[in-house]
A and B are shown apart, each in its own frame.
Chain A
Amino acid sequence: MKIKNIGNISDAINELKNDKNNAVSFIYENAKIHDGLLSGATFTIKDIFATEDAPTQASSKILENFMPYYDAEVVARLRKAGATFVGKTHLDELALGGTGTYSAYGIIKNPLDKTRIIGGSSSGAAATFSKNISIALGSDTGDSVRLPASYTGHFGFKPSYGAISRFGLFAFATSLDTVGFFAHNVNDLIVTSNVLFGEDEKDFSSRTVDLPTIEEIKPKRVAMLSNTELLSKKIKDDYAHLKETLSKEGVEINEYKLDTKLLEAINTCYMIISFSEASSNNANLNGIAFGNSISGKTWVDQMTSTRSKGFGRMVQRRFALGAFYLQKENQDIYFNKAKQVRRMIVDMFNKLYSENDLLIFPSAPIAPLLSEGKEDNWFSSYLTHANLSGNPSLSIPWVSEGDMPVNLTLDAKLYNDKSLLSYALWFERLFGGKNV
């Protein structure tokens, strides 16, 4: 088992040095090759993971020059396995936001078309992800790895919630946050998963999940959705064609019409839960023990000045909304209700997983124009259902519309990461394996 796209250290560093897209937060100028399973493989780290040897600012002014002085568990495991870190990448501030337009260090645009958004919050990871980089480490709370993966035509993997320790990943929404990563092929996702998966006593939500192996398996039963009304004609045709192809390959296709009201509720449910958790989790950013600080007469003045200047407007809006949902009079109608709707959404998808090996659906529409932003409909936030459920979800390069890529998402039952990646090897070959 070894990484196929090994990358190139000096070329990767040169690319990061020449970045003009506000995507790079730190460069490991003296990066070297180390021994281990990942020897020679080049990695970027989303700047939301604590690193012992570099600042971790989460693209927020409030954490300017913050030095954690310790490694996140994933960073420590990669180091131990011989990975070479070449740089750290910018993100939508504090990993909130899903467009690449909310980093305090400038807008990150889609390198395939600078008039379009790249998606986020792992925006810098996606924007800098060239063949010179083996793996780009990110985090996925709503779709933060898989959406930019689709907007840029890369493999983006969100493992099962708990499969990878989140110790040292700055918390956004505790019940949703998941470590994820970009790769150039399924093999490299599998190898990296073998390094990162595993329980960690420093993260009580971590679980033992079967380690994926490099074994291609053809799925027997695949679920497809007939909810295609929001798909463009091109993508709808491609999805219908895929159904024919799979049938010819002898795969049993089961088609489902999901409750549109619940699909439409995914984003609202996500917003209520994640913003509420975020407003609480980030109460520690107050300029006292760490981070940027603005002095004041009293401790309240100091914290208020620090947080007013330190947070961008998107973060302020989300925190305020989170506090609104958590107000005493709103807890039942919003926050507790969201937890009930979450179960309904999870049950709806779990039925499909229990009857099939996989669920497949286009990841998202093509990357929207910066001037227009994401459309407000369930297809634009479809990927988020996997964060509510915690199931493993993989976005793989599939087709294009015009000059822009559209990925296919493969979803499987919670903790079935091993079989999901085995099926993904089969799909990768079916789609031509051009990235292998």
Chain B
Amino acid sequence: MNKEEIKKIASSLLFDVTEEVLKDFEEFFEQHLQDLKAFEKIDTTGVKPMSFIDETPKTFMRDDVPGKSLEKEKLLNNATNKNDDFVILSKVVDSEN
């Protein structure tokens, strides 16, 4: 990955990276690429991907009983912008759209 690609990925994750981070990342990735190349050579033909440690399906079906949840005041207390009832966020949909 070069600096532009790193910036693009960071932007997709909604953060900007400093020059220091970019330099650090580039150096790290050069070394990491060697490990990835070795990794790619492992023959995995016919191997089923493992997504879960315990592959036995399990669900916790329960009755839909109303329970106690966190109090509104406490929840709102963690937000920087709020009023008495809601968290306030800048408009998501542009007026032109």
Contacts and interface: CB of A to CB of B under 8 A. Distances in A.
B95 to A, nearest CB: 12
Contacts of A283: 13
A304 interface: yes
User: Which interface class (under 10, 10 to 19, 20 to 34, 35 or more) fits B?
Assistant: 35 or more
Given A175-B52, A288-B87, A337 B12 contact: no
Interface string A186-198: 0000000000000
A334 B21 CA distance: 23
Contacts of B12: 323
Contact of B47 (A201, A264, A302, A343): A343
A390 B24 contact: no
Contacts of B15: 304, 307-308, 311, 316, 319
Interface in B29-60: 29, 31-32, 35-36, 38-40, 42, 44, 47-54, 58-60
B8 to A, nearest CB: 10
Interface string A331-353: 00110111111111010000000
B87 A289 contact: yes
Contacts of A265: 38-39, 42
Contacts of B44: 337, 340-341, 344
Contacts of A291: 78
Interface string A296-310: 111111111001100
Contacts of A303: 14
B74 A339 contact: no
Contacts of B17: 308, 316, 320
Contact of B74 (A69, A199, A304): A69
Contacts of A299: 89-92
A307 B35 contact: no
A373 to B, nearest CB: 12
Contacts of A295: 80-81
B87 A323 contact: no
A204 B50 contact: no
Given A67-B77, A288-B89, A289-B87, 17 more contacts: A161-B53, A201-B60, A204-B58, A204-B60, A290-B79, A291-B78, A298-B91, A299-B90, A300-B14, A307-B15, A308-B16, A323-B12, A324-B9, A334-B36, A337-B39, A340-B47, A344-B44
Question: What 6 pairs between A and B have smallest CB-CB spacing?
Answer: A390-B53, A339-B49, A290-B78, A343-B50, A340-B44, A293-B80
27 contacts: A67-B78, A69-B71, A175-B52, A199-B60, A201-B62, A204-B58, A204-B60, A261-B38, A265-B38, A268-B36, A289-B75, A293-B80, A297-B90, A298-B90, A299-B92, A308-B16, A308-B17, A313-B20, A317-B21, A321-B29, A323-B13, A333-B40, A341-B42, A341-B44, A344-B47, A346-B50, A390-B54
Interface of B: 1, 6, 9-18, 20-21, 24-25, 28-29, 31-32, 35-36, 38-40, 42, 44, 47-54, 58-60, 62, 70-71, 74-75, 77-81, 87, 89-92
Interface of A: 66-67, 69-70, 161-162, 175, 199, 201, 204-205, 207, 261-262, 264-265, 267-269, 271-272, 279, 283, 286-291, 293, 295-304, 307-308, 311, 313, 316-317, 319-321, 323-324, 327, 333-334, 336-344, 346, 376, 389-390, 414
